[in-house]
Amino acid sequence: MKDKLFTQPISKQFEFDESVASVFDDMLSRSVPFYNEVQKLIISLILTQQVDKKKVLDLGSSTAKFLLELHSKMDAKMSLKGIDNSYAMLKRAEQKCYAFGANIELSYADMLEYNYSNEEIVVANYTLQFIRPIQRTNLVKNIAKGMLDNGVFIFSEKVVFKDKKLDKNCIDIYYKYKKEQGYSEYEIAQKREALENVLIPFTIEENIQMCKDAGFKEVNTLFQWANFVTFVAKK
């Protein structure tokens, strides 16, 4: 379904309810630059490490788009699991997994309270940015603590820049991109207002330092387009 969520005046802050779940796949592909390409890149990286029973955990798995794509490409029988705290998202994910006959475990859970244990690959695509900074830092520490040595944490985030002029230029470039995807200026303004104080981005340096403070040995950027970055942290 095409995302027309913000064509009408907003009445609340952004949340992952049924109205968002119904258009979420379209919203991602049109709102996040190179979203599909980044997903393919992450999947390709995971596939270089695939072996039977290797655990892949997707945080904020939403409609299971990422896990389904990974499932369709893998040769080894990896263990795929997605967690989300939105029943609306999980319902759609379950329907999709059933339709494709995909053996993917889906669970209703809060990633802040989840028991991370013997994790090997953890993925979080544009998820951490919706978590308050202090809780975000503690979450990454818990992920690192529950991860096996040489485990990998792959996450994508919207970022800000210390250079205010560069930051403003990137925001303008991004809004131009959204217009090119068919969003009106009204829709863009409405969504920006809905996300105010809900989406709180870090700088690239802050994301890297957060991972190092959590116990990850190496942190690299895998992809960047303006103020959208994918990171790879190795335990």
pLDDT in tens, 59-92: 999 999 999 999 999 999 999 999 999 888 899 9
30 belongs to a structural domain? yes
Domain count, the chain: 1
Within a domain: 3: no
Q: Would residue 178 count as lying in a domain?
A: yes
Structure tokens at 193: 């207002």
Asked whether residue 42 carries a pLDDT value surpassing 70, the answer given is yes
Residue 7 lies in a domain: no
- The CATH number that applies at residue 229 is 3.40.50.150
Within 8 A by CB and 6+ apart from 27, the residues are 3, 5, 20
pLDDT score of 4 more than 50: no
pTM of the model: 0.87
**Per-residue pLDDT averaged across 3-13, rounded?**
45
Q: Which residue range is the domain that position 61 belongs to?
A: 18-234
Q: What is the mean pLDDT of residues 10-16?
A: 47
Is the predicted pLDDT of residue 15 greater than 60, yes or no?
no
Q: What is the mean pLDDT of residues 34-44?
A: 95
Domain presence at residue 6:
no
Compute φ and ψ for 83, nearest 5 degrees. Answer: -125, 145
Mean pLDDT of the chain: 87
pLDDT in tens, 115-132: 999 999 999 999 999 899
Percent pLDDT > 90 in the chain is: 71
Pull the structure tokens for residue 49.
């490490």
pLDDT on residue 192: 66
The percent of residues above 70 in pLDDT, for the chain, comes to: 81
Looking at per-residue confidence, does 181 or 12 come out higher? 181
* Alpha carbon distances (Å) from 39 to 7, 18, 67, 124, 167: 28, 23, 10, 11, 25
Q: Match 């944490």 to its residue by tokens.
A: 153
- Identify whether 12 is part of a domain: no
What pLDDT score was predicted for residue 1?
A: 47
pLDDT score recorded for residue 178: 85
C-alpha triplet 116, 130, 92: angle, nearest 5°: 75
Asked, for residue 1, whether it belongs to a domain, the answer is no
pLDDT in tens, 142-198: 999 999 999 999 999 999 999 999 999 999 999 889 888 777 665 666 666 665 666
